[in-house]
Amino acid sequence: MSCPLRPGASNWRRAATVVLAAGWPRWVPAAPSRPQLPAEGFRLLLLERSEKQNFLPGAHVFPGGVMDAADRSSDWLRLFAPHHWPPRFGLGPAPPQRVVFPGLSDAVARAVDGDAGALPDDVAFRICAIREAFEEAGVLLLRPRGPLAAEREPGLALAPSLDLADWRSRVRRDAQHFLCLCAHLDCTPDIWALHDWSCWFTPFRNSDVLRFETLFFLCCLREPPQVLSDSGEIVNCQWLSPLEATESFLSEKIWFAPPQFYEIRRLENFSSLSDLHRFCVDRELEGAESWLPILLITADRLIQLLPATTGTPGYFTLYTLR
């Protein structure tokens, strides 16, 4: 990741991640009255980080990374024109403004609310997440330039071109090349396929731990795209259902940071891709909630207190850190 854009007064680096949920048929057991038939399921793209990474070594994560100044460049305006213009770029009505945590200074609040740039947060964060999906997994969440279709359906990733490896190397060196790639393909980042999901702040642990304000987006795809790890930061890629991911974590086959584990558990509530996509579309005006986990230090371990999943005020889920 290159040239991160860091608000001067904020303790958090701004970042974005995209949860890719792809349609994946699952087989329903046969009954005497009917044969075995596929039912509509979905799986999530999980990337395994290299053990050599300073941040979350060996963890399984969703594609994502730190926002770059290029994600807010005014050059994007020419690419989105003439069909999509500020302030919303066709994203629909603006959701309620996210609430800044009580106790933050005015300077920090201004930095968290938005940095100076040509693009609004709703667009820049989506471009960041889409760029990172390309850098880390080789997935191109782009669409041909032009007006949007009236129907809201799960999207499709672009098939990778023959010179994909060269473009990925260039984008990793300089995020500005992602805009060049989009112009080369006469496409725009498919910001309309990314739905607000949640926002997580990294709690304070010690001065050496990186802290992020990370927006989570959810993107439903009709079928899983071809995925290629970058053999550097990312060493492996796999598609798992939410239940498979949870079982792998509980059996200690893989490891998630608390936000990833929490969001995967949320996704267990959806039995099909169409149900998940409909939920995302229906809740667009609600925006994304912001969460700051609470650290609990005991004599022998470190525990994070996560938001309640039961709806009971004051109730927390406990998550023991690795």
Supply φ then ψ for residue 157, to 5 degrees: -80, 150
Cα separation, 272 vs 259, in Å, equals 22
Cα separation, 44 vs 242, in Å, equals 7
Q: Report the share of the chain in percent with pLDDT over 90.
A: 50
Cα separation, 219 vs 280, in Å, equals 9
Using the predicted structure, report yes or no on whether residue 151 has a pLDDT greater than 90.
no
CA angle, 298 as apex, 203 and 216 as ends, to 5°? 25
CB 135 within 8 A of CB 47: no
pLDDT for res 95? 76
CB 134 within 8 A of CB 225: no
pLDDT for res 172? 93
pLDDT for res 173? 95
pLDDT in tens, 256-304: 998 999 999 999 999 899 999 999 999 988 888 888 888 888 888 888 8
Q: Higher confidence at residue 81 or residue 109?
A: 81
- Rounded to an integer, the average pLDDT of 89-111 is 61
Other beta carbons within 10 Å of 293: 21
Q: Report the share of the chain in percent with pLDDT over 70.
A: 78
Q: Domain coordinates of the chain in residue numbers?
A: 13-291, 293-322
Q: Which CATH superfamily is domain 13-291 in?
A: Nucleoside Triphosphate Pyrophosphohydrolase (3.90.79.10)
CB 214 within 8 A of CB 125: no
User: Among residues 152, 14, 142, which one has the least CA distance to residue 92?
Assistant: 152
User: Among residues 288, 280, 322, which one has the least CA distance to residue 307?
Assistant: 288
pLDDT for res 84? 87
Cα separation, 113 vs 144, in Å, equals 31
CB 317 within 8 A of CB 307: yes
pLDDT for res 99? 58
pLDDT in tens, 14-57: 999 999 999 987 655 555 554 544 456 899 999 999 888 877 88
Q: Which of 45-49, 53-57, 108-112, 191-195 has the lowest mean pLDDT?
A: 108-112
State the pTM of this model: 0.85
Cα separation, 284 vs 92, in Å, equals 9
Using the predicted structure, report yes or no on whether residue 205 has a pLDDT greater than 60.
yes
User: Among residues 200, 227, 9, 45, which one has the least CA distance to residue 135?
Assistant: 227
Q: Higher confidence at residue 61 or residue 40?
A: 61
Structural tokens at position 240: 């798992």
pLDDT for res 66? 95
Whole-number average pLDDT of the chain: 83
What band does 314 get if pLDDT is binned at 50, 70 and 90?
Answer: low
